[in-house]
Chains A and B, each alone.
Chain A
Amino acid sequence: MNAVTVAPGSESEVREVLLSETEPLHIAGGQSRLVATEKKIISTSALNGIVEYEPGALTMVAKAGTPLSVIKAILQQENQQLAFEPPEMKHLLRLTGNSTIGGVFATNASGSRRIQVGAARDHLLGVRFVDGVGRILKNGGRVMKNVTGYDLVKLMAGSWGTLGVITEVSFKVLPIAETQSTLKINSCKASILTKAINTTYDISGTFYDVGEGMAYIRIEGFDKSVKYRVEQLLREFADFEVDILEMEESKNFWQNVNDLDFLKEIKGDLWRVSVKPTEGSKIIEMLDPKIGFLDWCGGLVWLRVDEGLNVREKMQKVEGHAMCLLGRFEQFHPTSTLEKKLSNSIRKKFDPKMLFNQEIMN
Chain B
Amino acid sequence: MYLTDPDPTILAKKMQLVDKLLSFLPRDAVIDDPRETLAYECDALSAYRCPPMVAVLPRTTEEVANIAKICWELDVPVVPRGSGTSLAGGALPTGDSLVLGVARMNETLEVDYPNRLMRVQTGRTNLSVTGEVESDGFFYAPDPSSQLACAISGNIAMNSGGAHCLKYGVTSNNLLAVKMVTMQGEIIDLGGSHLDSSGYDLLGLVCGSEGQLGIVTEATLRILHKPEGALPVLIGYNDSEVAGQCVSDIIKAGVLPVAIEFMDRPCIRATDAFSQAGYPDCEALLIVEVEGSDLEIEEQLTKIVEIAKRHDPVELRRAKNNDEASRIWLGRKSAFGAMGQINDYMCLDGTIPVSKLPFVLKRISEMSREFGLDVGNVFHAGDGNMHPLILYNANKPGDLETCEAFGAEILKLCVEVGGCLTGEHGVGIEKRDLMHIQYSGDDLEAQMAIKDVFDPKWLLNPTKVFPLDASAERRANASQETAA
- A-side residues, CB < 8 A to B, are 54-59, 78-79, 108, 110, 114-115, 118-119, 121-122, 131, 135-139, 141-155, 157-159, 174-178, 191, 194, 197-200, 202, 221-222, 224-225, 228, 274-278, 296, 299-300, 319-321, 323, 332-336, 338-340, 342-343, 345-346, 349-350, 361
What chain A residues lie within 8 Å of B453 (beta carbons)?
342, 345-346, 349
B291 to chain A, nearest CB (A): 9
CA distance A118 to B420 in the complex (A): 23
A172 to chain B, nearest CB (A): 9
Q: List 16 A-B contacts (CB under 8 A).
A: A57-B251, A142-B353, A143-B385, A143-B423, A145-B383, A147-B170, A149-B435, A149-B438, A149-B444, A149-B447, A150-B465, A155-B201, A277-B115, A319-B193, A338-B188, A346-B200
What chain B residues lie within 8 Å of A197 (beta carbons)?
116, 225
State whether the Cβ of B202 lies closer than 8 Å to any Cβ in chain A.
Answer: yes
Closest to A199 in B: B225
Known: A150-B208, A276-B115. A155 touches B200 (CB 8 A): yes
CA distance A122 to B176 in the complex (A): 12
What chain A residues lie within 8 Å of B457 (beta carbons)?
none
State whether the Cβ of B190 lies closer than 8 Å to any Cβ in chain A.
Answer: yes
Closest to A227 in B: B295
Q: Are the C-beta atoms of A274 and B195 separated by less than 8 Å?
A: yes
B185 to chain A, nearest CB (A): 12
Q: Are the C-beta atoms of A158 and B201 separated by less than 8 Å?
A: yes
Q: Are the C-beta atoms of A122 and B169 separated by less than 8 Å?
A: yes
Q: Are the C-beta atoms of A56 and B202 separated by less than 8 Å?
A: no
Q: Are the C-beta atoms of B115 and A151 separated by less than 8 Å?
A: no
Q: Are the C-beta atoms of A58 and B384 separated by less than 8 Å?
A: no
CA distance A59 to B329 in the complex (A): 28
Q: Are the C-beta atoms of B201 and A146 separated by less than 8 Å?
A: no
B110 to chain A, nearest CB (A): 11
What chain B residues lie within 8 Å of A141 (beta carbons)?
418-420
Interface residues of B in 437-473 (CB under 8 A from A): 438-440, 442-447, 449-454, 465
- B205 interface neighbour in A154, A225, A228, Cβ under 8 Å: A154
State whether the Cβ of B380 lies closer than 8 Å to any Cβ in chain A.
Answer: yes
Query: A148-B422, A178-B254 provided; 20 other pairs, C-beta below 8 A?
Result: A56-B247, A57-B355, A57-B384, A119-B195, A135-B445, A137-B443, A139-B443, A142-B353, A144-B384, A148-B421, A152-B450, A154-B204, A191-B114, A200-B227, A225-B296, A276-B192, A299-B194, A323-B198, A338-B182, A346-B453
Q: Are the C-beta atoms of B194 and A349 separated by less than 8 Å?
A: no
- A349 interface neighbour in B204, B438, B449, Cβ under 8 Å: B449
CA distance A339 to B199 in the complex (A): 9
Chain B 206-240 against A: per-residue CB contact (8 Å), 1 yes, 0 no? 01110000000000000001111000000000000
Q: Are the C-beta atoms of A137 and B190 separated by less than 8 Å?
A: no
Q: Are the C-beta atoms of B172 and A198 separated by less than 8 Å?
A: no
- A55 interface neighbour in B252, B255, B438, Cβ under 8 Å: B252
What chain A residues lie within 8 Å of B205 (beta carbons)?
150-152, 154-155
Q: Are the C-beta atoms of B249 and A159 separated by less than 8 Å?
A: no
CA distance A34 to B205 in the complex (A): 25
- A145 interface neighbour in B200, B380, B439, Cβ under 8 Å: B380
Q: Are the C-beta atoms of B195 and A300 separated by less than 8 Å?
A: yes
What chain B residues lie within 8 Å of A151 (beta carbons)?
159, 172, 204-205, 207-209
Q: Are the C-beta atoms of A222 and B201 separated by less than 8 Å?
A: no
CA distance A150 to B292 in the complex (A): 35
Q: Are the C-beta atoms of A339 and B201 separated by less than 8 Å?
A: no
What chain A residues lie within 8 Å of B199 (beta carbons)?
332-333, 335, 339-340, 343, 361
State whether the Cβ of B248 lies closer than 8 Å to any Cβ in chain A.
Answer: yes
B476 to chain A, nearest CB (A): 20
CA distance A117 to B345 in the complex (A): 36
Q: Are the C-beta atoms of B355 and A56 separated by less than 8 Å?
A: yes
State whether the Cβ of B426 lies closer than 8 Å to any Cβ in chain A.
Answer: yes
State whether the Cβ of B427 lies closer than 8 Å to any Cβ in chain A.
Answer: yes
Q: Are the C-beta atoms of A143 and B204 separated by less than 8 Å?
A: no
- B-side residues, CB < 8 A to A, are 113-116, 137, 158-159, 161, 165-166, 169-170, 172-173, 182, 186, 188-190, 192-205, 207-209, 225-228, 247-249, 251-256, 292-293, 295-296, 299-300, 303, 351-355, 380, 382-385, 418-427, 431, 435, 438-440, 442-447, 449-454, 465
What chain A residues lie within 8 Å of B172 (beta carbons)?
122, 151, 154
Most chain A beta-carbon neighbours within 10 Å: one of B228, B385, B449: B449
Known: A56-B354, A142-B353. A147 touches B195 (CB 8 A): no
Closest to A299 in B: B195
What chain A residues lie within 8 Å of B248 (beta carbons)?
56-57
CA distance A275 to B199 in the complex (A): 15
What chain B residues lie within 8 Å of A342 (beta carbons)?
188, 202, 453-454
What chain B residues lie within 8 Å of A177 (beta carbons)?
254
CA distance A338 to B186 in the complex (A): 9
CA distance A136 to B352 in the complex (A): 23
CA distance A158 to B196 in the complex (A): 10
Q: Are the C-beta atoms of B446 and A131 separated by less than 8 Å?
A: yes
What chain B residues lie within 8 Å of A59 (beta carbons)?
353
What chain A residues lie within 8 Å of B195 (beta carbons)?
114-115, 119, 274, 277, 296, 299-300
CA distance A118 to B195 in the complex (A): 9
What chain A residues lie within 8 Å of B383 (beta carbons)?
143-145
Known: A150-B205, A191-B114. A200 touches B226 (CB 8 A): yes
B51 to chain A, nearest CB (A): 27
CA distance A79 to B252 in the complex (A): 8
B28 to chain A, nearest CB (A): 32
A57 to chain B, nearest CB (A): 4
What chain A residues lie within 8 Å of B165 (beta carbons)?
144-145
Closest to B197 in A: A321
- B161 interface neighbour in A145, A153, A224, Cβ under 8 Å: A145
B50 to chain A, nearest CB (A): 23
What chain B residues lie within 8 Å of A142 (beta carbons)?
353, 418
CA distance A343 to B253 in the complex (A): 43
Known: A158-B200, A177-B254. A145 touches B247 (CB 8 A): no
Most chain A beta-carbon neighbours within 10 Å: one of B196, B303, B423: B196
Q: Are the C-beta atoms of B254 and A225 separated by less than 8 Å?
A: no
What chain A residues lie within 8 Å of B300 (beta carbons)?
222
Closest to A135 in B: B442
Known: A145-B161, A323-B198. A224 touches B295 (CB 8 A): yes
A62 to chain B, nearest CB (A): 15
Q: Are the C-beta atoms of A143 and B419 separated by less than 8 Å?
A: yes
- B447 interface neighbour in A78, A152, A202, A334, Cβ under 8 Å: A152
Closest to B298 in A: A224
Q: Are the C-beta atoms of A194 and B114 separated by less than 8 Å?
A: yes
Q: Are the C-beta atoms of B252 and A198 separated by less than 8 Å?
A: no
CA distance A174 to B252 in the complex (A): 9
What chain B residues lie within 8 Å of A139 (beta carbons)?
443, 446-447
Q: Are the C-beta atoms of B198 and A138 separated by less than 8 Å?
A: no
Closest to A137 in B: B446
- B200 interface neighbour in A114, A153, A343, Cβ under 8 Å: A343
Most chain B beta-carbon neighbours within 10 Å: one of A119, A148, A178: A148
What chain A residues lie within 8 Å of B447 (beta carbons)?
139, 149-150, 152
CA distance A97 to B455 in the complex (A): 41
- A225 interface neighbour in B200, B251, B252, B299, Cβ under 8 Å: B299
Known: A144-B383, A222-B300, A342-B454. A149 touches B439 (CB 8 A): yes
